[in-house]
Amino acid sequence: MKKFISLGLKSEYEKNGELSSWFKMVCCLAIVPLDYVDKHFENVLLITPDIPKADVFLKYVVDTYFKGVYKVSMWNHFNTNETPRTNNNLEGYNFRLNKHLSVSRPNIYTAINKLKEEEVDASLKFFRALNGNKAPPRNKLYVINDVIFLNQRQMLLNNEISVETYIKYSIKVFDFAKLEKKLDKIDECTDDDSAESLSDISTSDDQELSE
């Protein structure tokens, strides 16, 4: 995403449906079955839009994730279950740390004091986890993403849908505008109600598939 934005493609993405669909298809490389990655990438190549710098972004993807040091098995998360599929938590931590330091290059004493605070905070979280305390609630958008992805993946594994159909519906995890709308529907719910609402979202996707 950072590379996509640095190339100045964000504004075009927001107003160009062809570019938007193509970028989501590129993102889907991370969640298609591992043995289908090459085939999916061929499909991505076939629909590459004739838009300035789209080819530059595609070259970056090839050089970094196919020809670079990262093996496909490292960044493909079709089979990921209990561990994170993104580095959002790390990005969030870095953002908060930089915000609290307030300067890009703090002096050594400021940095040490902040790291001490981080150590105390991490220790408290660790002991709370050992005691079985409930973890802080996840971002609702991430929860919705998981519901959509895991539901479609299970249907694919059960041979209830084809890979093409799986991609068609799993691509919703990259459609942030639609996710925002779904979030609005459950924003005022309690935790229990939210779980029920998320179940309804998943069910509505199943109904779409059966139509």
Residue 82 lies in a domain: no
Radius of gyration of the chain (CA): 20
Residue 80 lies in a domain: no
Q: Are residues 148 and 182 in the same domain?
A: yes
Residue 60 lies in a domain: yes
**How many structural domains is the chain composed of?**
3
- Per-residue pLDDT tens over the stretch 115-165: 888 888 888 888 888 888 887 777 777 777 788 888 899 999 999 999 999
Q: Are residues 56 and 92 in the same domain?
A: no
Residue 169 lies in a domain: yes
What is this structure's pTM?
Answer: 0.65
Q: Are residues 65 and 105 in the same domain?
A: no
Q: Note the pLDDT of residue 198.
A: 40
Q: Are residues 108 and 163 in the same domain?
A: no
Q: Are residues 126 and 145 in the same domain?
A: no
- Residue with the bigger pLDDT between 211 and 171: it is 171
Please tell me the distance from the alpha carbon of residue 77 to that of residue 71, in angstroms, as a whole number: 12
Residues in the chain, overall count: 211
- Per-residue pLDDT tens over the stretch 32-88: 999 999 999 999 999 999 988 999 999 999 999 999 888 898 899 888 876 666 666
SS3 content of the chain, % helix, strand, coil (to 5): 70, 0, 30
Q: Are residues 6 and 71 in the same domain?
A: yes
pLDDT bin (cut points 50, 70, 90) of residue 191 is: very low
Q: Are residues 116 and 144 in the same domain?
A: no
Question: What is the 8-class DSSP label of residue 86?
Answer: S
- Per-residue pLDDT tens over the stretch 8-46: 888 888 888 899 899 999 989 999 999 999 999 999 999
Whether residue 28 contacts residue 170, with contact meaning beta carbons closer than 8 Å, is answered with yes
Q: Note the pLDDT of residue 26.
A: 92
Q: Which residues contact 189 (CB under 8 A, 6 or more apart)?
A: 196, 197
Q: Are residues 114 and 55 in the same domain?
A: no
Q: Note the pLDDT of residue 189.
A: 46
Of the candidates 127, 174, 159, which has an alpha carbon nearest to the alpha carbon of residue 31? 174
Please tell me the distance from the alpha carbon of residue 75 to that of residue 87, in angstroms, as a whole number: 11
Residue 29 lies in a domain: yes
pLDDT bin (cut points 50, 70, 90) of residue 96 is: confident
Residue 189 lies in a domain: yes
Q: Are residues 40 and 94 in the same domain?
A: no
Domain edge (last residue) among 37, 53, 75: 75
Q: Which residues contact 57 (CB under 8 A, 6 or more apart)?
A: 3, 4, 7, 9, 26
Q: Note the pLDDT of residue 117.
A: 86
* CB-side neighbour CA atoms (13 Å) of 135: 7
Tokens describing residue 53: 């710098």
Q: Note the pLDDT of residue 184.
A: 52
Residue 135 lies in a domain: no
- Range of 67-76, 93-102, 194-203 with top mean pLDDT: 67-76
Of the candidates 29, 30, 8, which has an alpha carbon nearest to the alpha carbon of residue 19? 8
Domain of 188?
Answer: 140-210
Q: Are residues 145 and 192 in the same domain?
A: yes
Please tell me the distance from the alpha carbon of residue 54 to that of residue 203, in angstroms, as a whole number: 36
